[in-house]
Structure 1
Amino acid sequence: MDDQNKNLILAVALSMLVILGWSVFFPPPEPSPQDLAATAPASEAVSGNTASVPLAASGAEPVVAAEVKTAADAPRIKIESSHLEGTISLLGGRFDELKLKQYRQTLDAESDIVSLLKPTSAENAYYALYGWAPGGGLAPDLVPGPNTIWTLESGDILTPSTPVVLAWENGQGLTFRREISLDENYMFAIQQSAQNNSTNTISLAPYGTIARHGEPADLKNFFILHEGAIRHVAGELTETDYGDFESARAHEELEVGDKGWTGFTDHYWMTTLIVDQAGAKISTFQDTTRNIFQTTAKHKTETLAPGQSAVVSSRLFAGAKEWETIRNYENESGVPKFLDSIDWGWFFFITKPMFWLLHYLHALIGNMGWAIIGLTFIIKLVLFPLAYKSYASMAKMKELQPQMEKIKEQAGDDRQKVQQEMMALYKKEKVNPAAGCLPILMQIPIFFSLYKVIFVTLELRHAPWIGWLTDLSAPDPSTIFNLYGLLPWDAPEQGSVLALIFIGVLPLLLGITMWLQQKLNPAPSDPIQQQIFAWMPWVFMFMLGSFASGLVIYWIANNTITFTQQYLIMRSHGYKPDVFGNILSSFKRKSKDAE
């Protein structure tokens, strides 16, 4: 087998390995705060200047049905903005009902908007609440906790222009207030204060916590995507899958430093506690008995003498992981490394700038499909020097084909002599037979990164291109099964075996462009290899048919540009491939054979 064919086989094998591996692994998918499900948790006595909050595994009883009903019937404060709608329950001051007005569950205009937070009365409850952990002998019922009934002191509806203030007095000289404000996007600011009007010195620590009752119902469980707890502490990002949570008794508390954040991330949505003051600690744990996942930020303990007060500020992000919004919170609002809450993957050094470029192309063009094609042009432009050398080398190799065949005839079965004379010929003509593999090797991390961008970023969700392609994050919905809508039956459901077989327009175009590109490459001399290569475009066509349509658009554009580049460069170096003539001759020959 000549070296040119070896290089071609190596390039194809690498591509096959990438696609096969991808289709296998990513198919078309201090003390801790008290138990949020506890009715009256027992605290652990802590002396000195440290506040104590009961552990979730302290043996407290779960919420009973009557108390769940009380939670459902508790007064609520309405949340209203251009991005959010929901309510805050005065039971614990819980953020437990929140919907994202800009996003719907499906492409249907009548589909429900996305629901992010849910109360304990709903399945898969998911909520955030704030409180104070008692210390220095202070009893738990003397500080506000999960089941405290707050009073609305000022405000009516929480909007970006109208904050609200909650208040609660414990009847023994302690007054607590919580001021809540909201910006134009997804960030709440929470200011907690405690006033000691008693005759005793007290110690207590404010905290915020987010809880999820069980794993999310829409958990993707894709290897490519992290879903679960996420935190940024002391410059380090940590991701914890739901199966890796520590138990309540075994969890670790981490010093935040000046700033940090912790919470839960889903495919497109996120809820995080943001700590802006030094001395706080962050913890992540699971109440295995009740299957409650919890992440908490506890501020440093405050010691208040009679007449003294303390005020602590923090923030709560609850919304969509929009790239520009998240970036603005990082750059303009001082949330460290907040953009890393989007799962950029192993090739983040490629994925991040790639999405940055895609984002601005989309802003310029106004359509994400055309932006992907524009991104493909730019990638090919950056890789053009490598491509030029590769295709020039292939043209030169084609010119040397007669001499290479002559060497093989003269050397006969002496393979060592063939190799030696081939290498001498390459050296004389200044040809690098491995140059043809470089563009393929460069495409592998680019392909992974673009797949990551299309799969994890919210901006591709429900993004239309043209005609029937209304969601670039989903596979092409068209199918030959019903002649692309001409026959009166529905197309196979996405993800089914039939959907993998009866592929859409985009996968067909992908197969055709791969086939055309293949025609520029010299055919292997071995008949078996020829058959393998002949089938490869159509195998890839079916393998990639279930991939996100945005990725298939990239591959079609990449194949088309590559074909054009290779054709023009090879012609400029003296080799004039008659691709379409060869295709026509092939059809004529097959028709004659059939007769």
Structure 2
Amino acid sequence: MDNHRNVIIAIALSFLLLVGWTSAMDFFYPQPEQALVQDKADTPAEQAAIADGQAPAATRHTRTGGLVDPALQAQEKADLKTALASPQRIRIDAPRVAGSINLRGGVVDDVVLKDHMEGTGDDSEPVRLFSPNGTPAQQFAQFGYLINGTRIADDAVWQADGRVLTSETPVTLTHDLGDGVSASIRYSIDDEYMFTVEQKVTNTGPNPAVVQPYGYVNRTSRTASEDLWIAHSGPIGVFADAADYGIDYDDVDEAQTITPAGRPSWSGFADIYWLSALVPQTGSAPTATFRALGNEIYRADMIYDAVTLPAGQALTTTSRLFAGAKESVVLDRYEDAGLQKFGLAIDWGWFRWFEKPMLWLLRTIYEAVGNFGIAIIALTFIVRGLMFPIAQKGFASMAEMKAIQPKMKAIQEKYKDDKQKQQQEIMALYKQEKVNPVAGCLPMLLQIPVFFALYKVLVLGIEMRHREFLWIKDLAAPDPANLANALSLVGIQVPQFLMIVFGIGVLAVMLGFTMWLTFKLNPSAMDPMQQQIFNIMPWILMFVMAPFAAGLLLYWVTSNILTVAQQKYLYSRHPQLRAAIDEEKAKKAAEAEAKAR
């Protein structure tokens, strides 16, 4: 009766876990791509709420960011068409970046990434990183000066010496500030995502001029990806030789202005896959500040010290602007070239020493086989192959443990009233028989860092984004082969609270089944109540893991299949272990049946 009651309690607790899982996933795991963005005062209902003195609804963010609300998307498209039609633009056509520079203000406000698409469809357009000021998805960079305490007007029209900025042809913008002072900005771009910005002020007038160069990135947070415990999204930078992931948009809203302590190596804004960052002149120590401008608009400033420029002299300041994808190889290449800790723009966390080699191995296998799904399966074989000798030792140790069970029971019975002496004698028995009681746990413990590393690689590594395998279009996203998506094809939308059931994909079902098989072959004999819990647990994991990246589930399913094969093989090598377990299971089942009667 007690066993039945415990099983019922376990089932009830499992049900509570499932019910609470959706709320937990909202906090710990990215929102689905279909989540609606609700922007402040953009809908009639919100405008009415504001008129009634009520607070507007907060913006919701998706896993990868961007505008997903149809009204905002339509407005962005219309605004872009108008803004980019201006003839006062210099076209950008680099190997991996396209767009334009607005001569009104000399602003880099139009950047798309040629090698990264918004979606997986054939008609998908390149990812847009920068949009002009005033558009719903605004994000742009501007470089300028304070001359004698006065800022160059944002609407000042600069003159250009070329029409197209390429990786081989820089473009120089010039502007006459009056009183013999003139300014120029020379833009160049490399083969990746880095702009070099050379700002020069020339004083040909009769009087000294106080010159203070600056640069900034302006963006809205309504396009930001979700800020997660595993992946930072928001203000970011390296200050005083340390990466700072601790500032989010809410922090900037609360403080209005945040100036991190220490010399900035670079600073800007990060999304899960994208980065816009300012890099100061080598050897300089400008002030780096994050500011809240209101209405979900933020700015990352880089302001150099003011310099008094005598008549007849010129001042040149060379900064850089990164506007592109957070590709680990590219970021590390810039870091190797001297850009301090630029690879930490990806929030690898404490275990990056393990995660980055995992990503390297996946990339290497992918280059050999041409498919990331197959690469993940191959990686699983490699990991399990490396751990097989340890698993073999673990099974041998468990066989030895079974062999000394009678001696252990005799010691426990003899010293049942003296626990300390009992423990000493058992330890002496282990030493005498050369048995390691924890050897059987080692393979499971070694899998934990591998599993966590792969999880972070699949979540953070843009290399996994939009990679296909069989029916899966994006291994970094949840398995799309679920009942909710099937019903949506016929116009039936499943409510969010039912997604815990209808959102279970094929890989999650395979995970539950293969996990159940591994538990069935578990070498430890359990009492009936424990057995019932272990029978339920795989199906609980099926619900829990369903929203995770498909690539992660693919790894786990493959690992479970290999575990079953490995256990079958090892049982054939240690038949005495299998026989002892079957005998003990039968004995416990008989005892339970007798107790039930």
TM-score bin (small chain): 0.7 to 0.9
Return the letter of the residue paired with 2:155.
N
* Cα drift, residue 578 of structure 1: 8.7
> How far, CA to CA, are the matches of 1:575 and 1:494 in structure 2?
53
Normalized per residue, the structure richer in helix is 2
Conserved 8 A contact 1:74-1:90: no
Return the letter of the residue paired with 1:86.
G
> How far, CA to CA, are the matches of 2:286 and 2:257 in structure 1?
15
Deviations 1:97-138 (A, max 9, x none): 21122222221111232111111220142110000123xxx2
Deviations 1:18-54 (A, max 9, x none): x98985852355xxxxxxxxxxxxxxxxxxxxxxxxx
Flag the 1:441–1:329 CA change in 2: closer, same or farther, 3 A: same
Conserved 8 A contact 1:132-1:145: no
- Unaligned regions of 5+ residues in structure 2, if any? 1-13, 32-81, 587-597
Conserved 8 A contact 2:170-2:189: yes
Report what 1:217 is aligned to.
Answer: 223
Flag the 1:221–1:422 CA change in 2: closer, same or farther, 3 A: same
Is 1:202 matched up with 2:209? yes
Kindly report which structure 2 residues correspond to 1:487-566, keeping only aligned pairs within 5 A, or say none. 489=490, 497-498=498-499, 500-501=501-502, 503-522=504-523, 524-566=525-567
Flag the 1:253–1:28 CA change in 2: closer, same or farther, 3 A: closer
Conserved 8 A contact 2:30-2:228: no
Is 1:307 matched up with 2:307? no
Is 1:185 matched up with 2:192? yes
Report what 2:152 is aligned to.
Answer: 144
Flag the 1:250–1:101 CA change in 2: closer, same or farther, 3 A: closer
Q: 3-state SS of the aligned residue for 1:100?
A: strand
Flag the 1:500–1:348 CA change in 2: closer, same or farther, 3 A: farther
* Cα drift, residue 489 of structure 1: 4.2
Conserved 8 A contact 2:402-2:577: no
Return the letter of the residue paired with 1:115.
R
Report what 2:110 is aligned to.
Answer: 97
> How far, CA to CA, are the matches of 1:105 and 1:71 in structure 2?
19
> How far, CA to CA, are the matches of 1:411 and 1:541 in structure 2?
45
Conserved 8 A contact 1:469-1:477: yes
Identify which range, 453-462 or 505-514, moves more after superposition: 505-514
Flag the 1:494–1:232 CA change in 2: closer, same or farther, 3 A: farther
* Cα drift, residue 81 of structure 1: 2.8
Flag the 1:551–1:578 CA change in 2: closer, same or farther, 3 A: farther
Kindly report which structure 2 residues correspond to 1:161-560, keeping only aligned pairs within 5 A, or say none. 161-213=168-220, 215-239=221-245, 240-245=247-252, 251-252=258-259, 256=263, 260-289=265-294, 291-332=296-337, 334-400=338-404, 425-465=429-469, 467-479=470-482, 489=490, 497-498=498-499, 500-501=501-502, 503-522=504-523, 524-560=525-561
Flag the 1:149–1:493 CA change in 2: closer, same or farther, 3 A: farther
Return the letter of the residue paired with 1:148.
A
Flag the 1:490–1:355 CA change in 2: closer, same or farther, 3 A: farther
Conserved 8 A contact 1:165-1:178: yes
Conserved 8 A contact 2:257-2:291: no
Conserved 8 A contact 1:404-1:422: yes
Q: 3-state SS of the aligned residue for 1:432?
A: coil
Report what 2:96 is aligned to.
Answer: 83
Deviations 1:224-280 (A, max 9, x none): 2101111113311112211122778754365537xx211110111111111232223
Kindly report which structure 2 residues correspond to 1:56-67, keeping only aligned pairs within 5 A, or say none. none
> How far, CA to CA, are the matches of 2:199 and 2:304 in structure 1?
11
Q: 3-state SS of the aligned residue for 1:122?
A: coil
Return the letter of the residue paired with 1:147.
D
Is 1:159 matched up with 2:182? no
Q: 3-state SS of the aligned residue for 1:530?
A: helix
Report what 2:138 is aligned to.
Answer: 125
> How far, CA to CA, are the matches of 2:414 and 2:467 in structure 1?
60
Return the letter of the residue paired with 1:358.
L
Conserved 8 A contact 2:195-2:322: yes
Return the letter of the residue paired with 1:273.
L
* Cα drift, residue 501 of structure 1: 4.1
Flag the 1:406–1:532 CA change in 2: closer, same or farther, 3 A: farther
Identity score, percent: 38
Is 1:571 matched up with 2:581? no
* Cα drift, residue 337 of structure 1: 1.2
> How far, CA to CA, are the matches of 2:375 and 2:508 in structure 1?
19
Q: Structure 1 length normalisation: TM-score?
A: 0.77
Conserved 8 A contact 1:500-1:546: no
Deviations 1:266-295 (A, max 9, x none): 111111111232223132222355543111
> How far, CA to CA, are the matches of 2:477 and 2:494 in structure 1?
12
Q: 3-state SS of the aligned residue for 2:146?
A: strand
Q: Aligned-residue CA RMSD in angstroms?
A: 3.7
